[in-house]
Amino acid sequence: MAENPQGEVTRLLAEWGSGDQNALNKMMPLVYAELHRIARRAWSHSPHNNTLQPTALINEAYLKLANAQTAPFQDRCHFFAVAAKAMRQIMVNHAKSRLAGKRGFGLANISLDDVNPVIHQEAAEIVALHEALEALHAVDPRKSQVVEMRYFGGLSVDETAEAMGVSVATVNRDWRLARSWLIREMNCESP
């Protein structure tokens, strides 16, 4: 399976398109691994280019994994939905490992800034957002998916609408309410 992720993903996309929900579960690890690899490479080779835009990463993973020339357009949308989910997992996993102290900085002489309150802040917020999104999912799955695609997947409103098969107006409204809801949720939890 790992020998040819491209053929695998193309096949799984087709299966998913024809209603097989299991295909999604099988596709996730492949997409995750590819995105992770691309992100690492992009960052270590050229730290100040724009390839770390999630959409750019996802596009590259799509070109790599799916048979982009022949795949139906709908497959591309489906792929983006999966990839946004994978991006979310990548970020949350990294944030969690950072919070767990796997990335200690070993600072001997801290004098210009107090490190501890901020050092884990970004990571903590990613995790808090992730948890708030899960709570939102329980209330309104579509809105949580809109946030996942827009925020973690970096998709535009139009792309999100396309991928989800809803109108642009719906995405806009969902996005706004979801954002308010998440802010309220996160404010209550973090003193």
Residue 127 touches other proteins, criterion: CB under 8 A: no
- Min CB(72)–other proteins separation in Å: 29
Q: Applying CB under 8 A, which of residues 74, 121, 134, 141 lies at the interface with other proteins? A: 121
| SS3 category, 77 | helix
Residue 151 touches other proteins, criterion: CB under 8 A: yes
Q: What residues between 99 and 118 interact with other proteins by CB under 8 A?
A: 103, 105, 107-115, 117-118
- Min CB(179)–other proteins separation in Å: 5
Residue among 26 and 94 whose Cβ is closer to other proteins: 94
Task: Identify the burial level of 172 via C-beta atoms within 10 angstroms of its C-beta, where 0-12 means exposed, 13-18 middle and 19 or more buried.
Answer: middle
Measured CA distances, 162 to 1, 8, 113, 126, 190 (Å): 30, 24, 45, 26, 35
Q: Compute the distance between CA of residue 106 and CA of residue 188 in angstroms, rounded to an integer.
A: 33
Summarize as ranges the residues that interact with other proteins (CB under 8 A): 39-40, 43-44, 47-48, 50, 52-54, 57, 87, 90-91, 94-95, 98, 103, 105, 107-115, 117-119, 121-123, 125-126, 129, 139-140, 147, 150-152, 154, 173, 176-177, 179-184, 186-187, 190-191
